[in-house]
Structure 1
Amino acid sequence: MDEHSGAESGKLAEGAYRSVLGDIIRCVLPGGTVIQERKLAQALGVSRSPMRDALNRLEGEGLLVRLTERLLTVRVITLEDYLHSLDVRALIEPQAASLATPRVMDEELERIDATLRAIEAADAPTREQHWAFDELLHGTLADRSGNPFLAKTIREMRRYTEIFERQTVPARISPGAADHRALVDALRERRPERVKSAMATHIRNVRKRTLAGF
């Protein structure tokens, strides 16, 4: 394989990875679904080789589970998995948010604030609006922490919480909107300790709201 074809194969594998990952997170492929490599490859118009690379990557990240040599299924995220992921987030995400506070660019903060204001102004914001904002806020803070290990772990743990909530938690109007507003206001003031406290409170409230539904 020459350099050009290798780069193209890597691009196809990355695209397949992002597509399947998105379907898992949005519960298009819910927990327990048997993965059909050939069918997924055909749906995306790629060969089985890049799709296999993508599935191997997702298996390595714990989102796919191998039952036999040839049988892969989407991991079922249990309440225990969910609570464990929140525990990890509670340990590291407030610190990451604090580190990110002086590093978030003004234009990023404006986009975050404008997106939240649109949700606050909507009569009936959709869950997709909520999840898009959630990714924007938490993803930006994780990336701007300056620590790639923190960012990677936060993103992985957030996948578990999002999958579980999408599958299990009843739809709510603007879930966590007040928490998010407190976070954004603290960011606007560039106060790391306040941002850290607001993030810790937010994660505690996420846990409380979810357990209250069981």
Structure 2
Amino acid sequence: MPIQKDSKPAGALSDRAHRQITELIQKRELRGGETILEQRLAEKLGISRTPLREALQRLEGQGMISRSSGRSYLVRRVEMTEYLRSLKVRYLLEPEAAANAVGRLDRAAIQAARDEIADLRRLPRVQTDAHWQSDDTVHQLYGNSDGNDVMFGIIETLRVTTRLFEIAGLEARVEADFEEHDAILDALEANDASLARKAVRTHLRSLMTYSLKLLR
């Protein structure tokens, strides 16, 4: 039976496709290094190839996929060396972004981030897409409020790289992420720039330590 094509405007279809493909990558249904077969993916999502290609172009711009020599798209594969180098740059930038965001944040937004974490803790098993949404909420909360759009853009690009590596080992990191994110939110709510800087450094150092253990 042929798939019913969605009749929504092309822009809405492209946005939906972008969201769905991102989830497929985060859930490892599309794995690092895998070729994206456009026709098959369009059929899976129930859309034409035009909005699909728009979504793929956005994902390429975000660094989640890349073009192969044959012009097909590949899910980007991030190796340990690139991951650690990206984390080290984040370690230099993100603590300052968090410190700069102190005093600029709405307490309701901080509480909303806490509520997301609390909801995830009550789930019987890890929900990949919900976890990454919560991760975005915390990191973008201060990253997007530090008053430096250039720094925010660099950090977000680096977060795409590190996330593509972290997807494989998500379950073993979930509880540590919750605790470290809560500590960041505590510091932001206390309007303590020094504590916010320290909490973000602790979180990123924890990610580095965990990743290096995987090499042993």
Superposition TM-score, scaled by structure 1 size: 0.83
* Cα displacement (A) at 1:22: 2.5
Taking the aligned partners of 1:138 and 1:82, their CA distance within structure 2 comes to 17
* Cα displacement (A) at 1:152: 2.6
Which is worse superposed, 46-55 or 153-162? 153-162
Structure 1 SS opposite 2:66: strand
Aligned residue pairs, count: 207
Which is worse superposed, 131-140 or 192-201? 131-140
Question: 1:62 — aligned with what?
Answer: 63
Question: 2:150 — aligned with what?
Answer: 149
Structure 1 SS opposite 2:176: coil
Taking the aligned partners of 1:53 and 1:206, their CA distance within structure 2 comes to 33
Superposition TM-score, scaled by structure 2 size: 0.82
* Cα displacement (A) at 1:37: 0.9
* Cα displacement (A) at 1:170: 6.0
- Do the aligned partners of 2:87 and 2:204 also contact (CA within 8 Å) in 1? yes
Structure 2 SS opposite 1:135: helix
**2:33 aligned with 1:32, yes or no?**
yes
Question: 2:203 — aligned with what?
Answer: 202
- Do the aligned partners of 1:130 and 1:175 also contact (CA within 8 Å) in 2? no
Taking the aligned partners of 1:102 and 1:81, their CA distance within structure 2 comes to 34
Runs of 5+ consecutive residues of structure 1 not aligned to the other structure = 1-6
Distance 1:18 1:153, change over 3 A: farther
Taking the aligned partners of 1:115 and 1:67, their CA distance within structure 2 comes to 38
Counterpart code for 1:84:
R
Which is worse superposed, 180-189 or 170-179? 170-179
CA deviation digits over 1:82-122, x for unaligned, max 9?
A: 112212211211111112221221111112233344556x5
- Do the aligned partners of 1:25 and 1:159 also contact (CA within 8 Å) in 2? no
Q: How does 1:165-184 map to 2 (within 5 A)?
A: 165-168=166-169, 171-172=172-173, 174-184=175-185
- Do the aligned partners of 2:32 and 2:78 also contact (CA within 8 Å) in 1? yes
Q: How does 1:28-107 map to 2 (within 5 A)?
A: 28-107=29-108
CA RMSD of aligned residues (A): 2.5
The runs of 4+ residues in structure 1 deviating greater than 6 Å are: none
* Cα displacement (A) at 1:57: 2.6
Counterpart code for 1:202:
H
Counterpart code for 2:47:
V
- Do the aligned partners of 1:127 and 1:171 also contact (CA within 8 Å) in 2? no
Question: 2:4 — aligned with what?
Answer: none
CA deviation digits over 1:136-157, x for unaligned, max 9?
A: 2112122222333222322222
Taking the aligned partners of 2:27 and 2:160, their CA distance within structure 1 comes to 10
Runs of 5+ consecutive residues of structure 2 not aligned to the other structure = 1-7
* Cα displacement (A) at 1:199: 0.7
Counterpart code for 2:195:
R
* Cα displacement (A) at 1:168: 4.1
Structure 2 SS opposite 1:174: helix
